[in-house]
């Protein structure tokens, strides 16, 4: 299903496995996993992949680490027992009974070494766990970075698709005789300015070609406004920005069925009811 595929591609499942979601988001993922087996399978696959990544990048303990641990922890045992007080002399010779036999001493010594070995293994395990945790954090950062890059890439692809669509439309207009190309030239206030307007008289469509536009960049308080000169009177066709990096290459303006010329003035943002003639930037007549 497209819904499940789109949900998986958001990257929220990776963040769920890494424990980066809040309680509400976790419940949402768990509900989706219960509802859709594909999402549950994807979560299991992500967990396995992260476990394999941690194992693959685990750091092996340095050689001789166990020996260093033994030297730091092992405490030499006393080989001589403390002197015992002599029992009072009696008519009969006192019988000496040893407190520990050889087997007991050997057992204690073995247990002591076993305890040291366990401590050593614990330290090695802690080092390995810390290393795996560090690697997992690194993997987490890489996944987040990949998600950001994926979003940027998707945005770029979307822009390129729109740009390609506009270029195809411009080529179609140029090859269609029912469209009229009107070139607007600069006026006294901006002699170097120029732009191209496409007009389809029958369909009343008006398009502005950003790829063939050379207008001074407008500020945040102003916009350019396109006018059609119809029987000597200006008719508003809408406003646009001459941005350095336009989101679209072809801008659709308001419709007009009859025009003798087109002109552009610089107005306050949002446009004006009547054109400011002293701020007319470009103008061009229609030749049919």
Q: What residues contact residue 244 under an 8 Å CB cut-off, 6+ apart?
A: 217
Query: What would the mean pLDDT of 165-187 be, rounded to a whole number?
Result: 88
For residues 106 and 114, is the Cβ–Cβ distance under 8 A? no
Q: Is pLDDT at 106 greater than 70 in this prediction?
A: no
Task: Identify the pLDDT of residue 99.
Answer: 47
58: pLDDT strictly greater than 70: no
- Per-residue pLDDT reduced to its tens digit, 125-159: 777 777 777 777 877 777 877 776 656 555 555 54
Sketch out the chain's domains with CATH numbers.
1-57 (no CATH), 179-285 (2.60.40)
Cα pseudo-dihedral 204, 209, 210, 211, rounded to 10: 170
User: For the residues 220-241, what does the mean pLDDT come to?
Assistant: 95
Mean pLDDT on 258-270 = 96
Residue 120 near residue 70, CB atoms below 8 Å: yes
What pLDDT score was predicted for residue 115? 72
E strand map for the chain: 179-186, 194-200, 205-214, 222-230, 233-240, 250-252, 261-268, 280-285
The pLDDT of residue 238 = 96
Of 137-141, 161-165, 234-238, 268-272, the poorest mean pLDDT is in: 161-165
Query: What is the overall mean pLDDT for the chain?
Result: 79
The band of 45, judged by pLDDT with boundaries at 50, 70 and 90, is confident
pLDDT higher at 11 or 107? 11
Query: What is the pTM assigned to this prediction?
Result: 0.46
Q: Which of 82-86, 196-200, 275-279 has the lowest mean pLDDT?
A: 82-86
Q: Distance (Å, rounded) from C-alpha 264 to C-alpha 206?
A: 13
Is the pLDDT at 89 greater than 80, yes or no?
no
CB 12 within 8 A of CB 20: no
Statement: residue 264 has pLDDT above 90: yes
């Amino acid at each position: 299903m497209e819904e499940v595929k789109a949900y998986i591609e958001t990257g929220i499942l990776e963040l769920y496995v890494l424990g980066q979601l809040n309680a509400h988001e976790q419940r949402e993922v768990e509900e989706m996993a219960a509802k859709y087996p594909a999402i549950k399978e994807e979560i299991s696959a992500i967990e396995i992949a992260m476990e394999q990544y941690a194992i693959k990048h685990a750091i092996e303990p340095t050689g001789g680490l166990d020996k260093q641990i033994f030297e730091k922890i092992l405490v030499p045992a006393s080989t001589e027992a403390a002197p015992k007080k002599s029992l009072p002399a009696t008519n009969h010779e006192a019988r000496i009974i040893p407190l520990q036999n050889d087997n007991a001493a050997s057992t204690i010594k073995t247990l002591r070494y076993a305890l040291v070995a366990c401590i050593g293994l614990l330290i090695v395990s802690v080092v390995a766990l810390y290393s795996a945790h560090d690697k997992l954090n690194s993997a987490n950062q890489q996944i987040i970075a990949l998600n950001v890059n994926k979003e940027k890439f998707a945005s770029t692809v979307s822009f390129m698709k729109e740009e390609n669509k506009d270029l195809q439309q411009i080529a179609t207009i140029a090859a269609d005789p029912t469209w009229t190309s009107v070139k607007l030239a600069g006026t006294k206030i901006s002699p170097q300015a120029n732009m191209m307007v496409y007009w389809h008289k029958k369909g009343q469509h008006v398009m502005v070609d950003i790829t063939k536009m050379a207008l001074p960049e407008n500020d945040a308080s102003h916009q350019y406004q396109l006018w059609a000169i119809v029987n000597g009177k200006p008719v508003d066709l809408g406003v646009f920005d001459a941005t350095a990096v336009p989101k679209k290459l072809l801008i659709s303006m308001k419709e007009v069925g009859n025009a003798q010329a087109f002109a552009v003035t610089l107005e306050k943002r949002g446009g004006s009811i009547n054109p400011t003639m002293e701020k007319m930037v470009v103008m061009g007549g229609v030749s049919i």
